[in-house]
């Protein structure tokens, strides 16, 4: 299972497609996933979800959704701190060297784990069918991208990367680090800026869980999306200023 060059280059849009199709499923399945769970929980005592207990249950599910998005923001920020944000969001595949520090000591693909946590969080906002489409669609895209990257890294890094594959899990993080620290200095400011839109999504999620106000939610969602596209414009300019393409100073697992 390996993404083509076209899929990798336009991976952002393939990921967006999973969300677009997932939320588009509301046209055929109108019931929100959280409402469906709440109706199942209160089917005997409060089928219309009019009680305070039902409201609190619904808020609890949306708090869980916001917590998953927060976890996504954190792990992508942690991973991005050991890369350059212009690499994280670059359309090109970088295989110059390996990163074996920070979260990469616990799992090989923290950024893609962050993508899956984000999908799980947003699935609560979709319909029942859409939630499945969002999660499975993102999983399919992520697994194909991982296959593409790992194949390229095996070719470029050889035995050092095979040792990395053997030592570090792919997507499910190990509680203990599988490699010694490489001594890299994380760049937290650029990492937070690179993932600022996710932190805004998380904040938006908690506000929505508190108020259950869709007007506030969609207003902040558009602000977050706008912040993300401004960030991408800034990174594109930064890449142009750094042309010809730089070779990031990444340590290999053997260092």
CB neighbours (10 Å) of residue 250? Answer: 20
- The segments of the chain whose pLDDT lies below 50 read 85-96, 243-255
What does the pLDDT read at residue 241?
A: 65
What does the pLDDT read at residue 232?
A: 67
What does the pLDDT read at residue 110?
A: 94
CB neighbours (10 Å) of residue 92? Answer: 10
Q: How far apart are CA 246 and CA 6, in angstroms?
A: 22
Contacts of residue 143, defined as CB under 8 A and 6 or more positions apart, other chains included, come to: 1
User: Whose CA is closest to 69, among 28, 134, 143, 124?
Assistant: 124
DSSP letter string, 129-185 = HHHHHHHHHHHHHHHHHHHHHHHHHHHHHTHHHHHHHHHS-SSS--SS-SS----PP
Report domain extents, the chain. Answer: 5-241
Q: How far apart are CA 57 and CA 69, in angstroms?
A: 19
Q: Which residue has the tokens 């336009």?
A: 10
pLDDT in tens, 200-229: 899 989 999 998 887 777 787 777 777 777
∠ CA 52-58-64 to the nearest 5 degrees? Answer: 135
What does the pLDDT read at residue 31?
A: 94
Percent pLDDT > 70 in the chain is: 84
Q: Which residue has the tokens 């994280």?
A: 88
From the centroid of its chain, how far is CA 117?
6
The CATH class that applies to domain 5-241 reads mainly alpha
Q: Kindly report the pTM of this predicted structure.
A: 0.82
What does the pLDDT read at residue 164?
A: 85
Q: Which residue has the tokens 């609560």?
A: 124
pLDDT in tens, 101-144: 889 999 999 999 999 999 999 999 999 999 999 999 999 999 99
What does the pLDDT read at residue 252?
A: 33
């Amino acid at each position: 299972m390996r993404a083509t060059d076209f899929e990798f280059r336009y991976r952002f849009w393939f990921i967006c497609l999973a969300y677009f199709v997932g939320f588009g499923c509301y046209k055929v399945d109108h019931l929100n996933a959280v409402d469906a769970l709440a109706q199942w929980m209160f089917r005997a005592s409060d089928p219309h979800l009019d009680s305070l207990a039902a409201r609190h249950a619904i808020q609890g599910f949306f708090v869980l959704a916001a917590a998953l998005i927060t976890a996504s923001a954190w792990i992508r920020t942690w991973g991005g701190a050991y890369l350059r944000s212009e690499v994280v969001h670059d359309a090109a595949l970088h295989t110059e060297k390996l990163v074996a520090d920070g979260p990469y000591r616990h799992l090989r693909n923290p950024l893609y784990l962050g993508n899956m946590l984000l999908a799980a969080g947003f699935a609560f906002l979709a319909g029942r069918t859409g939630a499945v489409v969002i999660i499975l669609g993102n999983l399919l895209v992520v697994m194909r991208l991982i296959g593409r990257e790992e194949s390229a890294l095996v070719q470029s890094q050889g035995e050092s990367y095979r040792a990395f594959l053997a030592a570090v899990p792919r997507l499910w993080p190990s509680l203990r680090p599988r490699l010694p620290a490489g001594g890299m200095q994380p760049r937290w400011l650029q990492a937070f800026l690179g993932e600022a839109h996710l932190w805004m999504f998380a904040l938006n999620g908690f506000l929505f869980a508190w108020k259950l106000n869709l007007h506030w939610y969609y207003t902040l969602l558009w602000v977050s999306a706008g912040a993300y596209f401004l960030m991408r414009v800034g990174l594109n300019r930064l890449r142009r200023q750094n042309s010809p393409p730089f070779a990031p100073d990444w340590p290999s697992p053997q260092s």
